[in-house]
């Protein structure tokens, strides 16, 4: 509560300086209340003094406030990164135990809509063509060589990212390396070392209230994973996938 009042106090103080420095009727009331006279300081110089101090207060206080916010945000991000690294280890071990791949290590990535200015110029005004671009985190992935890699999601959905965007539902494939032909991959995708060697991918879309996919979280590995055919075992594993993909999605969305 004290911090809030302190912030309000500073903002009111700066506002008062600016008002007195710019509005003569207000300045005159304060000038007369303080019983000042022209031989001490004229009303114009009185206003000028307040105006100058108001400008200085803005240039001193707000940069300090922004720098303080930046430091707090950086600390928050560092803590969040440590939490995400730990959850990556926990998810890898949990899923690895369930699929009997005890050395499993999952790469975690985030796909977001590609800004129009990053598209080829010929597609700038073709709004039907939409792409999602990967965002790698070096603390969540052992291979980030596919930085800025894209998948078209509309009108032709490519890769698991495109399929998930289209269906707006979590999807996984434990033999994606054997089923490349089912995902409309182009030559660039097929020749990419990361994608070409990937054996397992899990992708989860995050949709806003309007039904638009805001971003997609993926988990991938080149290690061999086989999801059990038994329905009960498979459902148990899918619950684990849903839990951790939701967790990562929400945490990564709060990372600057």
Number of other residues whose CB lies within 10 A of the CB of residue 85: 14
Does the pLDDT value for residue 120 go beyond 90?
no
Per the CB < 8 A criterion, the answer to whether 108 and 140 are in contact is yes
- DSSP label at residue 79: H
If 0-12 CB within 10 Å is exposed, 13-18 middle and 19+ buried, where does residue 28 land?
Answer: middle
Q: Classify domain 99-253 by CATH architecture.
A: 2-Layer Sandwich (3.30)
Least trusted range by pLDDT, from 54-68, 118-132, 154-168, 213-227: 54-68
Per the CB < 8 A criterion, the answer to whether 43 and 28 are in contact is yes
Least trusted range by pLDDT, from 35-44, 156-165, 169-178, 221-230: 35-44
What's the whole-number average pLDDT of the chain? 82
Average pLDDT over residues 77-95: 90
Measured distance CA(85)–CA(195) in Å, rounded: 22
Q: State pTM to two decimals.
A: 0.70
Does the pLDDT value for residue 3 go beyond 50?
no
pLDDT band at 52 (very low <50, low <70, confident <90, very high): confident
Angle among Cα 226, 88, 143 to the nearest 5 degrees reads 80
pLDDT tens sequence across 63-85: 666 566 566 667 778 888 888 99
Helices (H), the chain: 2-22, 24-33, 43-98, 159-167, 187-191, 193-197, 231-253
Choice between 68 and 16, residue whose per-residue pLDDT is larger: 16
According to DSSP, the β-strands at 200-207 and 171-173 are antiparallel
At 40 the pLDDT is: 77
Does the pLDDT value for residue 208 go beyond 80?
yes
The helix (run of H) or strand (run of E) holding residue 202 is strand 200-207
């Amino acid at each position: 509560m004290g911090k809030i009042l302190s912030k309000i106090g500073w903002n009111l103080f700066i506002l008062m300086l600016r008002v007195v420095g710019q509005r003569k009727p207000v300045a005159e009331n304060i000038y007369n209340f303080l019983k000042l006279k022209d031989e001490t300081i004229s009303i114009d110089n009185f206003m000028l003094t307040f105006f100058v101090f108001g400008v200085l207060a803005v240039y001193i206080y707000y940069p300090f406030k922004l720098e303080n916010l930046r430091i707090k945000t950086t600390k928050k991000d560092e803590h969040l990164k440590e939490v995400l690294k730990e959850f990556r280890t926990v998810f890898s071990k949990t899923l690895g135990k369930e699929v009997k791949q005890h050395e499993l290590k999952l790469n975690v990535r985030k796909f977001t809509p590609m800004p129009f200015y990053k598209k080829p110029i010929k597609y700038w005004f073709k709004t039907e063509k939409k792409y999602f671009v990967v965002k790698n985190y070096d603390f969540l992935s052992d291979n980030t060589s596919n930085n800025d890699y894209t998948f078209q999601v509309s009108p032709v959905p490519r890769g698991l990212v495109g399929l998930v965007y289209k269906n707006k539902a979590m999807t996984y494939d434990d033999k994606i390396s054997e089923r490349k032909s089912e995902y409309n991959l182009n030559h660039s995708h097929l020749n990419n070392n990361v994608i070409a060697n990937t054996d397992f991918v899990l992708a989860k879309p995050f949709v806003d209230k309007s039904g638009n996919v805001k971003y997609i979280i993926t988990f991938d590995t080149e290690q061999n994973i086989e999801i059990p055919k038994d329905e009960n075992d498979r459902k148990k594993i899918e619950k684990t996938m849903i839990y951790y993909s939701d967790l990562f999605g929400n945490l990564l969305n709060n990372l600057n």
